[in-house]
Amino acid sequence: MSAFLDAVLLQAGYNAALVALGATLLGFAAGAVGTFLYLRKRALVSDALAHATLPGVGLAFIAMVALGGDGRSLPGLLLGSALTAAVGLVLIQWIVSRTRLAEDAAIGAVLGVFFGLGIVLLTVIQTFGAGRQAGLESFLLGSTAGMLRAEALVIAAGGTLAVLAIWLLRRPMTLVAFDPGYAAALGYRVSWIDFAMMGAVLAVTVIGLKVVGLVLIVALLVIPPVAARFWTERVHLMVWIAALIGGASGYLGAAISASAPALPTGPIIVLVAAASFTVSLILAPARGLAAAVRRQNQFQRRVHRRQGLLAIARSEPIRERYTLKLLQRESLIRPDGMPTDNGKAAAAKVSRDERRWEVARRMHQDAGLTGRYDGLTPIEDVFAPDEIREFDRRLGPPAPVRG
């Protein structure tokens, strides 16, 4: 536990602090960029994009070695990965626009072919003398051991650029995600805005190779926005909530993995993000599962309460056990089923409101008002007191409930 605390407080050594910083920035950028990717319904394209980085890594290594260089220089490898990922992206667009194949088929084809090609290249590189120590396979799942300051700076620079692009273009991107036809009618170039968005996704993917690896980067792009969606109904808030969830997942994940020797950073970060998703799914106030169950129960209670009180008003017996329990809990009936004075008063009110609604519906033909008649909405929520007095005037004096 103290190892974890040290890591959280950035006291677990220079490398751990560097990794935590890089992972936080990466998660933040991925959350913000991923929000628009998710809203545009292109989340899976990023998975193909990520897998299409692998041949670029191999080709860049071969090119750098052939030119007499080190071959392991991170900027060079990232540049190569960005190039083949861009080729993969263009190929997906081309397949979708020029053939009858749907996007999911194009994604599958590009993902598989590019990843396969990348694995072949990596295997070939293994046979080179210098290739054995290259550690290129670490790009598959990320590897933060021995992360350098320069590498953290690359992540910081790429992440900042991506977030900046998102911030600058947040309005057109929102519009294109919600209603591309209207965006085009206003004169926005939808393809350019999509291009900018995919550019930001590409930047996040490439800088994420070192920390979480190409197999799992899609999780960092998708999970934070999906979790954030539970907490808000506004895009501009969702972007920052997703960024915070992503950043926090990166930070906590890095700290957890630094606190024990055998915990891989990337997968742990993804698991932390998944945990935040699960918490959001269950606990979010409006869209969460717990809230939905609570609303459903409340609704059921109101239906049973109303029907029980109407039965009292009509002097009919109540047979449903749940209704009886409910009315008894509120002291509206006695254990023997007979209404209390409170129960009679409540029953009179419910049956009177029922007749008020009838008058209201005759008087107001406007669907906007009487459309809210569902037998459960209190009439006081829809009509003003003077309107209700008018209904009462037409109804005549209230009738007492016997029993």
Q: Which region, judged by CB under 8 A, interacts with another protein, from 147-155, 179-187, 245-253, 317-325?
A: 179-187
Among 24, 81, 84, 174, which residue sits at the site for another protein (rule: CB under 8 A)? 174
Which H or E run includes 142?
none
Are 219 and 273 in contact by the 8 Å Cβ rule? The answer is: yes
Give whichever of 182 and 322 is closer to another protein, judged by the CB atom: 182
- Among 250, 230, 197, residue whose Cα is nearest residue 37: 197
Cβ-based neighbour number of residue 261 at 10 Å = 7
- Among 229, 249, 248, residue whose Cα is nearest residue 239: 229
Q: Which region, judged by CB under 8 A, interacts with another protein, from 110-118, 164-172, 309-317, 324-332?
A: 164-172
Cβ-based neighbour number of residue 75 at 10 Å = 11
Euclidean distance between CA atoms 23 and 29, whole angstroms: 10
Are 268 and 275 in contact by the 8 Å Cβ rule? The answer is: no
CB of 172 to another protein, least distance (A): 7
Q: Which region, judged by CB under 8 A, interacts with another protein, from 232-240, 266-274, 293-301, 327-335?
A: 232-240
Half-sphere exposure of 164 (CA within 13 A, CB side): 7
- Among 318, 185, 230, residue whose Cα is nearest residue 38: 230
- Among 367, 355, 356, residue whose Cα is nearest residue 390: 356
Can you read off the two tokens belonging to residue 310?
């109407």
Among 317, 368, 396, 400, which residue sits at the site for another protein (rule: CB under 8 A)? 368
Q: Quick one: DSSP state of residue 100?
A: S
Give whichever of 179 and 316 is closer to another protein, judged by the CB atom: 179
Q: Which region, judged by CB under 8 A, interacts with another protein, from 8-16, 273-281, 361-369, 386-394?
A: 361-369
Among 12, 50, 147, 177, which residue sits at the site for another protein (rule: CB under 8 A)? 177
**175 contacts another protein (rule: CB under 8 A):** yes
Euclidean distance between CA atoms 228 and 220, whole angstroms: 13
Can you read off the two tokens belonging to residue 322?
């749940």
Q: Which region, judged by CB under 8 A, interacts with another protein, from 84-92, 181-189, 245-253, 307-315?
A: 181-189
**232 contacts another protein (rule: CB under 8 A):** yes
Among 5, 120, 164, 168, which residue sits at the site for another protein (rule: CB under 8 A)? 168
Give whichever of 368 and 396 is closer to another protein, judged by the CB atom: 368
Among 341, 366, 381, 386, which residue sits at the site for another protein (rule: CB under 8 A)? 366
CB of 386 to another protein, least distance (A): 19
CB of 399 to another protein, least distance (A): 35
Are 74 and 157 in contact by the 8 Å Cβ rule? The answer is: no
CB of 369 to another protein, least distance (A): 11
CB of 308 to another protein, least distance (A): 30
CB of 149 to another protein, least distance (A): 35
Tokens 């560097």 -> residue: 18
Give whichever of 52 and 239 is closer to another protein, judged by the CB atom: 239
Q: Which region, judged by CB under 8 A, interacts with another protein, from 26-34, 130-138, 180-188, 343-351?
A: 180-188
Cβ-based neighbour number of residue 69 at 10 Å = 12
Can you read off the two tokens belonging to residue 189?
């170039």
**235 contacts another protein (rule: CB under 8 A):** yes
Cβ-based neighbour number of residue 231 at 10 Å = 18
Can you read off the two tokens belonging to residue 122?
């990596």
Q: Which region, judged by CB under 8 A, interacts with another protein, from 135-143, 153-161, 257-265, 366-374?
A: 366-374
Euclidean distance between CA atoms 228 and 124, whole angstroms: 43
Q: Quick one: DSSP state of residue 401?
A: P
Among 154, 197, 216, 238, which residue sits at the site for another protein (rule: CB under 8 A)? 238
Looking at residue 4, its amino acid is F
**86 contacts another protein (rule: CB under 8 A):** no
Contact positions vs another protein (CB under 8 A):
39, 168-169, 171-172, 174-175, 177-179, 181-182, 184-187, 229, 232-235, 238, 366-368
